[in-house]
Structure 1
Amino acid sequence: MAAGSIVVDFPSMGAALCFPNLESLLRDSASGFLSAVSAAPAPGAADLTNFHRVFSRVLSTYSDPPLEVVWFFSALSFHDRPDDLRSLLQLLSAFAASSPGAAKPLALLAPVVSELFHSDKPRRETEAVVEAVLSYISICSSRPAPSSTEGTTADAVRLLPAFGDLVKVWSVRHSRERCPFQVLFPLAGDEARRELMKEGCSVDYLAGVVLVEAFLLRLCLKVQNATGVPRSELQKELKIWAVSSIPVFQSHQFFGVLLNMLLNSPLPVYSLVSADDEILVRDVLYDSLILVDYSFINNGAGVDLLPVYVSRLIITLDAVNDARRKGDQGRAVSFINAFSTSNIPNFLIKWATCQAGSGALSKPICNTPQAILKWLIDLEDKGLKVFGDYSSWVMRRFVCNEVKNGYGNMVQSDADLFFVDKQSGRELMDTKGSEDDEAVEEMETAGNAFMAAAQSMKGVTNGIRKRKSCGNEDAAAVKFVKYKVEDSSVKGYLLAANGMSSGSEVENPQSDDEMEESD
């Protein structure tokens, strides 16, 4: 950011004004912009010539101008040509060309995504610009992270306190009564908006929020276009698109923001789709975030994976409970199996053991999400901070699920009790009862008996036939696959797009089997 005083000329005023720093210049300019727009006799009629001259000079002093300066200048240009979203996208991408890494170029896209949400243009025209945005996102996401020689990392770059004033500048066209952050980030959700309102929020987090909004906007447009398509077929098509798109982003922040959105109901897409379609979108996200093991998440160097993994644990339990309420035991088993065979249980156990000291903790009974969460809650009760500020919220939610699902009384069907680790062929036990020492001892001494019982189960419970490998043969179950970014059909499609837009659909994988990959 610029250091020292900033002197700018205002020709129409016949004076040169001195601002102590960039922060002061941005705040005063944002206030002047809002006043000029409010006093204009008609929308788009405000005279912003002086602001154009000033910020053209300010921009010329930077090789890589700050996000807030670019946002203000682009707001001036967009005011002159409202609704020209392609030109806005081109302008923002031009200013981001010299930025190292992907965070800032992606964060700059927030006004474009917001204008697409509020646009009243024909759906086909809106979709074309959305595809152009996704093309640009894929290009930016493939950029290597900034090296130490290029200065601070994207996560260390913080938004200026004047960021809130720039949000007002970009939201004034659509509403002067609603919260400006709700107008500019309509698909972000309340928690993400609260994080963005905090002083010193990182550019990296803002980029993650923008990615989530662009992702959800495209997903909802696909739902809108699927009138008459059978629901099961649509869900499968959307899942394939989502699973292909997520690794293209290569963003832990995106993954974390999307997980946190799922913790609350409904999703912030209710203005784009019906209540039934919101449930469909949620189911697609459950499948995409739980049943697939994304390599970019597990291989994040220097990234704190604890919040992501804890959120994924809670989301898995929500997905399991949701599937059981719908009577889809096969899908519930798939979620349990995916979690238990992932590296999340081992990560959480190792993290807790490291925090408490080697040998100080007993291990959870098994690697099911219910057992892991109970174990972590016990550790939280003993003083280990696992859930941070969300501790009481997690406790209340866990107790509520215990009561609703009858876990405390071990009221379960056989389908809930056993499931198979399809990667190793081991039978795992989903224990929902008490975890006292006596239960642990019984499990250890009767393990072989339980495995034999599970292997020999042939009957039908709740209309579901018992199989040795649950989830693989059931049409409703989804496989737990390994997925790496270099296999993404979406990335190849987007990078091959002509210019920044594309009119064709993503080339979807033919089946889950074709996406599976051994480590």
Structure 2
Amino acid sequence: MALSLTASTDSQNPSFLMGQNYQLSLKQSMEDLLAETQKETPNFSGFIEKFYGLMQAKVDPPLESIWVYSALSFRSHSFSKEDHLCRLSIINDLFQLVSSCSSPCNSSKSIALLAPIVFEVYKLVVEVLGKDSGSKGEKKVNKKIKSVVEVIIGYISMCCCKGFSEESEGIDVDLAVPVEDLASIWIDRNANLQSFLPLVSHEVCGLISERGFDLNYFAGVVMVESFLLKLCLDIRIGDEGMVVLENELRSWAVASISSFHNSYFFEMLMRILLQPALPVTALLGPEEVILLRNILFDVIILVENSFLKPETVPLPTEHVKSIAITRLVVTLEAIELFRKNRDKKRATRYMSAFTNSDLPSQITKWISSLNGMFEKAGGISGSSPKALIKSLLKLEKQGIKLFNDSVLKYHAKSLVDDSMEVDEQLVSKKLKDDEPSFYIDDKGEEEVNEMKNESMTAVYVAAARSMRPIDKSRDKRKGSGGEEKEKIKYFKYALPSKSKARKEASVPGSGSDSDSGASKDDLSSDSEVENPVK
């Protein structure tokens, strides 16, 4: 039975749920519900009707009302943990319910409300991948799960078309209860926020709690989880060779990031890369994690995204600074990592990409505006990531606060202390011969955005149509023919044949001195990347 948007006609009087009465009623209802969850045998039967009334009383319902109503509706359906197709069907129904309830909401809230759905899909994926993935039954389940994840990605892309920056002001994001309490409705009583957001790092969960509930940041976290879940599924059950798979997923990731066009998502993704281990160990093996890390470093460092430029997208100044500093730290992290792994070509490529990007000049101008004497003294001109970080830390010692939090400052300081001395002259000689692997062409931005809106809508509709009821025996996916392609300009790698790729014995970036992507001789002329969701 599908989860439905129904409730008794005896729900709370809408005339009562107005103004201050509404907020008091929502807060009291949340407190009563949380008290019930602490009981050994909780009874939620009376709460479904109450939260349905709270949700219906507002044109743009509070996040808590939709969150709780969908959770209680989901719990009302029993299913066997062993029946994966049945569980997936109910998860699909949950997605349909949430997307329907949040249709009047802004993009940030609509995406944030997907957090429980991504959590339930993740739990199912962990169970399914732990079984015999080669059996006919498990292959069918994997195919269905991938379809659900693709629909979630498509839905997020459609939400992003509304634009986040336009909604950054005037949004009521004051929760009636802490976000940890909201998460507890979906997880065990003794679990924490990290358990509810398993695909982001402990540090990111800490930021959510420390900063208070920022709807844009939380939506960015949900986007990161969906993004990583899609990549992990493709890596785990893909049948291509490693080199072919890496190139295909890199292209998909670049196109997806461009489609999301979201700086909050981008910052959260960078934060995860700063952790010693990616939070995907339950889904991937050690070599597969290395492959994923390589792909993520590439799409963050080698690509120039227009939505990160302050002159292109109006964003809060502090947010722009935080992204720039985080990207600087991630770049040095990647360079040092591949130097230690003796992958000198990849390290040089990252240094080249940094030098040819807008990031050095952006940070240099920013530092100079804070302390003009620093540039005159020659402390910034022609700087490497290491030199720029040293400049930031030097200004911090002078009492100028540049790092938004102590964790990022700790990462920066440890990298500078531990990094090897670099022969800058030797690096500069190599830069001209080793240009960034690919880049986004910002020209025709208006035209690209228009194409993006049309194509992502078509992709979402096509993917949603493929999600027929799980119990049907026939499952034919229809093509979305005539779909526009977002043009993303880049220098593509010359891909080896699949038969040759399957013979690859090592994983790129695992310690080999050879270039994991392609040598500079493999670069060819401009090409195009298709839309991210297929």
TM over 0.5, yes or no?
Answer: yes
- Deviation digits for residues 415-435 of structure 1 (CA, Å, limit 9, x no counterpart): 5352335xxxxxxxxxxxxxx
Equivalent residues of 1:482, 1:515 under 8 A apart: no
Name the CA distance, whole Å, in 2 between partners of 1:302 and 1:59. Answer: 31
Consecutive unaligned residues in structure 2, runs of 5 or more: 1-16, 79-86, 129-140, 468-476, 493-525, 530-534
Evaluate the alpha carbon distance shift between residue 166 and residue 394 of structure 1 in structure 2; reply closer, same or farther with a 3 A threshold: closer
Equivalent residues of 1:135, 1:494 under 8 A apart: yes
- Deviation digits for residues 381-438 of structure 1 (CA, Å, limit 9, x no counterpart): 3332222433751454134333xx244xx5x8x85352335xxxxxxxxxxxxxxxxx
Name the CA distance, whole Å, in 2 between partners of 1:273 and 1:355. Answer: 44
The equivalences for 1:386-425 within 5 A come to 386-390=402-406, 393-394=410-411, 396-402=413-419, 405-407=420-422, 410=423, 416=427, 418-421=429-432
For 1:114, the equivalent position in structure 2 comes to 119
For 1:318, the equivalent position in structure 2 comes to 333
Pick aligned residue for 1:72 from 57, 65, 68:
68
Pick aligned residue for 1:354 from 355, 369, 377:
369
For 1:373, the equivalent position in structure 2 comes to 389
- How far does residue 315 in structure 1 lie from its aligned partner after superposition? 1.0
- How far does residue 70 in structure 1 lie from its aligned partner after superposition? 0.7
- Deviation digits for residues 445-475 of structure 1 (CA, Å, limit 9, x no counterpart): xxxxxxxxxxxxxxxxxxxxxxxx224xxxx
Evaluate the alpha carbon distance shift between residue 325 and residue 146 of structure 1 in structure 2; reply closer, same or farther with a 3 A threshold: closer
- How far does residue 493 in structure 1 lie from its aligned partner after superposition? 5.8
Equivalent residues of 2:352, 2:431 under 8 A apart: yes
Pick aligned residue for 1:53 from 49, 52, 55:
49
- Deviation digits for residues 83-135 of structure 1 (CA, Å, limit 9, x no counterpart): 301111111111111113x1000000000000000014622221111111112
- Deviation digits for residues 227-249 of structure 1 (CA, Å, limit 9, x no counterpart): 5x332222111111100111111
- How far does residue 490 in structure 1 lie from its aligned partner after superposition? 7.5
Name the CA distance, whole Å, in 1 between partners of 2:437 and 2:166. Answer: 39
Name the CA distance, whole Å, in 2 between partners of 1:131 and 1:171. Answer: 24
Name the CA distance, whole Å, in 2 between partners of 1:376 and 1:300. Answer: 25
For 1:12, the equivalent position in structure 2 comes to none
Name the CA distance, whole Å, in 1 between partners of 2:409 and 2:105. Answer: 41
Normalized per residue, the structure richer in strand is: 1
Name the CA distance, whole Å, in 1 between partners of 2:428 and 2:374. Answer: 30
1:190 and 2:190 aligned: no
Equivalent residues of 2:150, 2:463 under 8 A apart: no
- How far does residue 359 in structure 1 lie from its aligned partner after superposition? 7.7
Pick aligned residue for 2:437 from 444, 463, 478:
478
For 1:139, the equivalent position in structure 2 comes to 158
Evaluate the alpha carbon distance shift between residue 311 and residue 395 of structure 1 in structure 2; reply closer, same or farther with a 3 A threshold: closer
Task: Give 1:32's aligned amino acid.
Answer: E
For 2:191, the equivalent position in structure 1 comes to 178
Task: Give 1:301's aligned amino acid.
Answer: P
- How far does residue 64 in structure 1 lie from its aligned partner after superposition? 0.9
- TM-score, normalised to structure 1's length? 0.75
Name the CA distance, whole Å, in 2 between partners of 1:496 and 1:39. Answer: 41
Name the CA distance, whole Å, in 1 between partners of 2:208 and 2:108. Answer: 15
Larger radius of gyration: 1
Equivalent residues of 2:223, 2:265 under 8 A apart: yes
Task: Give 1:111's aligned amino acid.
Answer: P
- Deviation digits for residues 124-156 of structure 1 (CA, Å, limit 9, x no counterpart): 2211111111121111111145868xx9445x6
For 1:427, the equivalent position in structure 2 comes to none
Name the CA distance, whole Å, in 2 between partners of 1:255 and 1:215. Answer: 11
SS of the aligned residue for 2:229 comes to helix
- How far does residue 336 in structure 1 lie from its aligned partner after superposition? 1.0
The equivalences for 1:291-330 within 5 A come to 291-298=302-309, 299-303=312-316, 304-330=319-345
1:256 and 2:299 aligned: no
Name the CA distance, whole Å, in 1 between partners of 2:265 and 2:377. Answer: 34
SS of the aligned residue for 1:128 comes to helix
RMSD: 3.1
Equivalent residues of 1:329, 1:416 under 8 A apart: no
- How far does residue 289 in structure 1 lie from its aligned partner after superposition? 0.6
1:384 and 2:400 aligned: yes
For 1:31, the equivalent position in structure 2 comes to 35
For 1:22, the equivalent position in structure 2 comes to 26
Q: Using CA pairs below 8 Å that are at least 6 residues apart, which structure has the higher relative contact order?
A: 2
1:278 and 2:289 aligned: yes
Name the CA distance, whole Å, in 2 between partners of 1:267 and 1:68. Answer: 30
Equivalent residues of 1:114, 1:185 under 8 A apart: yes
Name the CA distance, whole Å, in 2 between partners of 1:79 and 1:207. Answer: 24
Name the CA distance, whole Å, in 1 between partners of 2:327 and 2:165. Answer: 28
Pick aligned residue for 1:81 from 77, 84, 101:
77
SS of the aligned residue for 1:499 comes to helix
- How far does residue 379 in structure 1 lie from its aligned partner after superposition? 2.5
Task: Give 1:27's aligned amino acid.
Answer: E
Evaluate the alpha carbon distance shift between residue 194 and residue 478 of structure 1 in structure 2; reply closer, same or farther with a 3 A threshold: same
Equivalent residues of 1:208, 1:257 under 8 A apart: yes
Equivalent residues of 1:59, 1:69 under 8 A apart: yes
SS of the aligned residue for 2:441 comes to strand
Name the CA distance, whole Å, in 2 between partners of 1:59 and 1:115. Answer: 23
Percent identity over paired residues = 27
Pick aligned residue for 1:205 from 214, 217, 240:
217
For 1:241, the equivalent position in structure 2 comes to 252
For 2:136, the equivalent position in structure 1 comes to none
Task: Give 1:401's aligned amino acid.
Answer: D
Name the CA distance, whole Å, in 2 between partners of 1:501 and 1:384. Answer: 54
Name the CA distance, whole Å, in 2 between partners of 1:74 and 1:189. Answer: 26
For 1:125, the equivalent position in structure 2 comes to 144
1:514 and 2:527 aligned: yes
For 2:462, the equivalent position in structure 1 comes to 497
- Count of residues in Structure 1 that have an aligned counterpart in Structure 2: 429
Equivalent residues of 1:387, 1:394 under 8 A apart: no
- How far does residue 39 in structure 1 lie from its aligned partner after superposition? 1.4
Equivalent residues of 2:184, 2:191 under 8 A apart: no
Name the CA distance, whole Å, in 2 between partners of 1:62 and 1:146. Answer: 24
Name the CA distance, whole Å, in 1 between partners of 2:18 and 2:289. Answer: 45
